[in-house]
Amino acid sequence: MYESYLTPEEPNTQVKSKQNIEIPHLEKWESFDTSPYFLDNAYCLIREIRYPVHAKRGKYTFNDFKTAVSAWQKTNIEHPLSTKGFQPTDLFFFDTETTGLGGGVGNTIFLLGYAYFENDEVVVKQHLLPEPGGEIPLYDSFLKSIDYTTLVTYNGKAFDWPQVKTRHTLVREHVPKLPQFGHFDLLHASRRLWKGELESVKLAIVEKEILGIEREDDVPGFLAPMIYFDFVETKNVDGIMKIMEHNEDDVLSLIALYTHISFQLLGLDREQSKTEQIQVGKWFSSLNQSKQAIKLYEQALDNFDGKESWQAKYDLAMQYKKQKQIEHSLQLWKEIIDEGRGIVKVKATIELAKYLEHKRKNF
């Protein structure tokens, strides 16, 4: 299946650098906005491309991200994904490509990709390991390039950054220390908002179904290890360039996804569905942000009779209870008991019985 990405190239023309290191297809790399970085008789390849902030990705322009960050400054809403006190340039959108899906020292990162804001542009940089054994220039160039406050990833807390830490231990005597970052992992946010709505919360599916992003001629991520090993063996660059484009799409999509999630949390999405309002309400409930949760539940339940409505009414009743607005809770529990069904009806019955016994002594 992956052979189509490993097409034969022109004869392997090797160009010697000023350090007498042979770099296959250097001219082709340069036409791909990629140049070598040399250190201690080894090298890695660094690609840099820039986009104007008014460029669009799916439903959003990159400038909409700046709007989201600005909106966080003006709100009193507390949330783990809040960028209150941050500037757009403080965030660092990061993704890796590796030789396998597992962890541990046997899994090598061959591509470190990230995007960040600089003035009125979005900069994408990628550091490629051209062959095993070149990790010192790879991590040296990467760690000298980054100076940001918060990492934004998709499953990066469980995979990408721990893998960086593991590989860094092998070369730490030769490269800068790993910086301390805050970390926004958008996979967890996607699960909260769309797990029940989408067949999967893989980034490619969230991109398509939620953000309206359609990738063209994209290489499936699971082919990345095979394509990389072919590149190491044959030096053919067409396949690995496709992987780099795939990685570029990933980091740019993180900007659009953070924008969309922020718009959901801050009530800025004019197309926000009732179901999404309920899911955001649940999220605020779990954070003990009862006032914000109540506001969202009330908006969502206004003229809404979807399958989530009875559970949402029960959740709203419990938020009223926390706020000591018990009369609102009683009204909702009775409504659920009279018209609801299933386990939520049982839970409402129990809550009403507890109230009648403990508060009114009506056994």
Residue range 217-269, pLDDT digits in tens: 899 888 999 999 999 999 999 999 999 999 999 999 999 999 999 999 999 99
**Distances, alpha carbon 253 to alpha carbons 85, 213, 279, in Å:** 23, 8, 22
Question: To which H or E segment does residue 60 belong?
Answer: strand 60-61
* pLDDT band, very low/low/confident/very high, at 193 (cuts 50, 70, 90): very high
Q: What mean pLDDT is predicted for residues 1-19? A: 46
The pLDDT-based confidence of 147 (bands split at 50, 70, 90) is confident
Q: Would you say residue 5 has pLDDT above 90? A: no
CA-CA distance, 280 to 193, in Å (whole number)? 7
pLDDT of residue 105: 52
pTM: 0.89
Q: Of 47 and 99, which is predicted with more confidence? A: 47
pLDDT value of residue 212: 95
Region 172-198: what's the mean pLDDT?
Answer: 91
- 238 burial type by CB count under 10 A (0-12 exposed, 13-18 middle, 19+ buried): middle
Binned at pLDDT 50, 70 and 90, residue 7 comes out as: very low
pLDDT digits (tens, 9 = 90+) for 56-103: 999 999 999 999 999 999 999 999 999 999 999 999 999 999 997 665
Q: Give the mean pLDDT of 141-148.
A: 89
Angle, CA 122 vertex, CA 119 and CA 126 arms, to 5°: 130
Cα 211 to Cα 64: distance, rounded to the nearest angstrom: 13
CB atoms within 10 A of CB 23: 20
Q: Give me the pLDDT at residue 106, please.
A: 64
Contact 192, 283 (CB under 8 A): yes
326-339 helix and 343-358 helix, angle to the nearest 10 degrees: 140
* Exposed / middle / buried, residue 249 (Cβ in 10 Å: 0-12, 13-18, 19+): buried
pLDDT value of residue 104: 53
Please provide the average confidence, as pLDDT, over all residues in the chain. 90
